Amino acid sequence: MKTITILGATGSIGINTLDVIKRHRQIYKVTALTANRQVDRMVSLCQEWSPRYAVMADAEAAERLEQRLKKLNVVVEVLSGIDGLTFVASLAEVDIVMAAIVGSAGLLPTLAAAQAGKRVLLANKEALVMSGQLFMDAVRINGAELLPIDSEHNAVFQCMPPRFKIPSSSHDELVGVSRILLSASGGPFRSYPIDQLDDVTPDQACAHPNWSMGRKISVDSATMMNKGLEVIEACWLFSLPPNRVDVLLHPQSVIHSLVEYVDGSVLAQLGNPDMRTPIAHALAWPERMSSGVPRLNLVEISRLDFEDVDFERFPCLKLAYDAMSAGGTTSTILNAANEIAVQAFLEERLRFSAIPKVIETTLSKFSGRAANSLEIILEDDARARELAKSVIRN
């Protein structure tokens, strides 16, 4: 039986992971579940799954969870904070870590899982956006397995040459690959009048046409910063420069990404827009197992459309390309400024159209440096957040 820690168990990826595991209880055992502050959901999950550990990032929430579980006679050891998260991410008894904590908060526990040599199912793109080479080195040095969960990167992984592994051990594994094409739905504002984006509300931005996601990721999808972060992630995962990672608008979200080869072949992975497919793929890899996702009916879909990306409509995507090209901690600064701007928008303190402006201003005032230590990365992350906050205030 394989044991698993789920970082971010109450989020959409965590819930979908548990749904897949529920279909294969004879294979997987949940050892640890983590969440931020959602005590009610965690109580229900502990009752259903009986993990050995439950971790709340928020200390006060951990106290409430512990009290609730005691009253219910549910025996689970409750931990809290970053120490608790890194502890369950690196447990000797754990085989697999689902890294699904949203944002920069997921960096340290995800890195701890890599350093412990786990099979890391990476749904937290910020770990690579922030720490790139440092993270990939940790995977390589400690013999961890890194499998992408984002539907786009999972699709690319499935379309890569059979001998390809992450991280690639040699450039030869990519011989024949010309470029990657990441598909993007375009979110809720793909054809929305640009001059009306000033008045977009958080609820409108979070109303994704195809995917069910958390609010932060939904806003990132609406600005296409999410795709920008995926471009950066793809460069690290597949050892390619940004000029060989393209984005293609595909409103139906049926083709999840493509790999183009030098002989003219283009391989694509298709499926219904359901995160249980990449989750099941990564859990079972190199085998396959059922996920609960309905069969894709191409006749019913009947058409697949494609468009070029308009950087005027989606300036966040261009900012991400530029940050990856600049290197160092520039992508850390980009991510930090974006998180601050998105939070301000969700709290209705910032207009939707001002999100890329905050990011661009922060980047213009704060140059990145070589990202050769975790301390430097965290320092630049913190400084960028304060700078972004001051940009919003002013």
* All domains in the chain, ordered by first residue: 2-148 (3.40.50.720), 327-394 (1.10.1740.10)
pLDDT digits (tens, 9 = 90+) for 99-132: 999 888 899 999 999 999 999 999 988 889 999 9
Report the side by side order of strands in the sheet with 255-261: 245-249, 177-184, 255-261, 266-270
3-state DSSP of 320-373: HHHHHHHCCCHHHHHHHHHHHHHHHHHCCCCCHHHHHHHHHHHHHHCCCCCCCC
Mutual angle of helices 355-365 and 225-238, in 10-degree steps: 50
Task: Give residue 174's pLDDT.
Answer: 74
- Token readout for 43 is 């109580």
Task: Give residue 295's pLDDT.
Answer: 95
From CA 43, how far away is CA 61, in angstroms rounded? 11
Query: CB of 101 within 8 A of CB of 50?
Result: no
Biggest distance spanned by C-alpha atoms of the chain: 64
From CA 201, how far away is CA 181, in angstroms rounded? 31
Task: Give residue 211's pLDDT.
Answer: 63
Lowest-confidence segment of 58-67, 188-197, 275-284, 383-392 by average pLDDT: 188-197
- Token readout for 121 is 């199912």
From CA 350, how far away is CA 322, in angstroms rounded? 24
When comparing pLDDT for 368 and 211, which is higher? 368
Task: Give residue 18's pLDDT.
Answer: 98
Task: Give residue 167's pLDDT.
Answer: 83
Task: State the DSSP H helix or E strand holding residue 248, giving kind and residue range, or none if neither.
Answer: strand 245-249
Instruction: Give the 3-state secondary structure of residue 259.
Output: strand
Residue 162 has pLDDT above 90, yes or no: no
Confidence of residue 394 (pLDDT cuts 50, 70, 90): confident
**CA-CA-CA-CA dihedral for 82, 90, 236, 266, to nearest 10:** -120
Task: Give residue 214's pLDDT.
Answer: 77
Query: CB of 153 within 8 A of CB of 128?
Result: no
Task: Give residue 205's pLDDT.
Answer: 85
Query: CB of 254 within 8 A of CB of 301?
Result: yes
The single-letter code of the amino acid at 334 is L
Q: What mean pLDDT comes out for the span 207-235?
A: 87
From CA 311, how far away is CA 70, in angstroms rounded? 54
Tally of CB atoms within 10 A around 240: 18
Query: CB of 265 within 8 A of CB of 259?
Result: no
pLDDT digits (tens, 9 = 90+) for 253-288: 999 999 999 999 999 999 999 999 999 999 999 999
Task: Give residue 297's pLDDT.
Answer: 96
- Token readout for 7 is 């970082």
pLDDT digits (tens, 9 = 90+) for 299-346: 999 999 999 999 999 999 999 999 999 999 999 999 999 999 999 999
Q: What is the mean pLDDT of the chain?
A: 94
Task: Give residue 82's pLDDT.
Answer: 96
First-to-last C-alpha distance (Å) of the chain: 55
Q: Which residues contact 153 (CB under 8 A, 6 or more apart)?
A: 122, 230, 233, 234, 237, 257
Task: Give residue 171's pLDDT.
Answer: 59
* Whether the predicted model's global pTM rises above the 0.75 cut: yes
Can you list the alpha helix ranges (DSSP code H) found in 198-329? 202-205, 215-223, 225-238, 276-284, 298-301, 315-326
Residue 307 is classified by DSSP as: B
pLDDT digits (tens, 9 = 90+) for 376-388: 999 999 999 999 9
Confidence of residue 212 (pLDDT cuts 50, 70, 90): low
Task: Give residue 285's pLDDT.
Answer: 96
The single-letter code of the amino acid at 307 is E
What percent of the chain is modeled with pLDDT above 70?
A: 98
Query: CB of 55 within 8 A of CB of 84?
Result: yes
Query: CB of 231 within 8 A of CB of 242?
Result: yes
Given CA atoms 10, 16, 22, 24 in this order, what sign does their dihedral have? negative
Residue 170 has pLDDT above 60, yes or no: no
Beta strand 77-80 with 53-56 is: parallel
